[in-house]
Copies of this chain bind each other. A is one copy, B any other.
Amino acid sequence: MVYDVIVIGKGPAGISGAIYSTRANLKTLVLGKLDSMLLKADKIENYYGFENPIGGRELLETGLKQAERLGAEIVEEEVVNIEKTENFNIITVDGQYEAKTVLLATGAPVVRVPIKNLDKYEGAGVSYCTTCDGFFYRNKKVGVLGYNDFAIHEAADLLNFTQDITLFTNEMELNVSDNAKPVIEKLKVNNKKIKELGKGDILEEIVFDDGTAEDIEGLFIAFGSASSTSFALKMGIVTDGKSIIVNEKMETNIPGLYAAGDCTGVFKQVAVAVGQGAIAAREMAAYIRKK
């Protein structure tokens, strides 16, 4: 089955988009884990329509119920990749889905892993995109920094280029689905806390808090969920730093692919996100009609 709209992200931007696309009679699927920044918000006072403060989690859960009541399908699956075909293939940990249009609403880019020299080696051994850079590490010794299904997906991608892959979890507990197991068997896993990246102008080693070090030729960052930045890198979406560039219709540079909310770098507020989601849905409906 081909969905009209797949929304990636369950925060206000994505769910507002799903509400509008469902109401526009578009077959709508929402994917993603509930990991909005709002979960950390004890009380929200400035979102119009609530006389008294509302908790972030409560608002998120109400939004999900609202979208479901209106007919949106919501699935708790982590998206690890998006491929542009005639439509879009959305690859999750457990399967894949097809849609005519996609709304990226993945929230603000994940906070950078605080590892010394990570910035310094970006483009000099540190990469955020296996699809973009995997080829350059053929038969080399590489690492993947991460601990969940997204990291495993990236490692699986790298297995096309090299068999010498270490998963560096930086002390995070491994948190992966059953599907990940065959991949993990092909990886080494290192759970030590990383102190810094090191040596000259090009990345050559990872130094751990316990004083030991390990030689490495490349390190791919996949720490936490796949962010809009990861998708942008893989698909060639135009960004401005860490934010996806959209026009007033919430269109990215890829036809059929829209973005809304914090991942577009706007004022990071529920009020702004819901408006962007609504506009994106209206434009997705227009796009599908035109096609």
Contact = CB atoms under 8 A, between A and B. Distances in A.
Interface string A270-281: 111111111100
B272 A278 contact: yes
A19 interface: yes
B63 A48 contact: yes
Interface in A51-74: 51-52, 54, 59, 62-63, 65-66, 69-70
13 contacts: A45-B66, A47-B49, A48-B270, A48-B274, A49-B50, A49-B274, A50-B62, A51-B65, A51-B69, A266-B279, A267-B278, A271-B278, A272-B278
A143 interface: no
Contacts of A20: 46, 271
Contacts of A23: 45-46
B49 A49 contact: yes
Interface residues of A, number: 36
A269 interface: yes
B282 A275 contact: no
A227 interface: no
Nearest to A24: B46
Interface in A232-291: 266-267, 269-279, 282
Nearest to A13: B48
Given A275-B269, A275-B271, A278-B272, A45 B62 contact: no
A16 interface: yes
A36 to B, nearest CB: 12
Given A267-B278, A279-B267, A282-B267, A48 B12 contact: yes
Interface-centre pick from A15, A45, A66, A282 (highest chain B CB count, 10 A): A66
Interface hub of A51, A271, A274, A276 (most chain B Cβ within 10 A): A271
Interface of A: 12, 15-16, 19-20, 23, 45-52, 54, 59, 62-63, 65-66, 69-70, 266-267, 269-279, 282
B274 A278 contact: no
A18 to B, nearest CB: 10
Contacts of A45: 19, 23, 66, 70
A271 B281 CA distance: 12
Contacts of A51: 62, 65-66, 69
A170 B45 CA distance: 45
Contacts of A19: 45-46, 48
Nearest to A278: B271
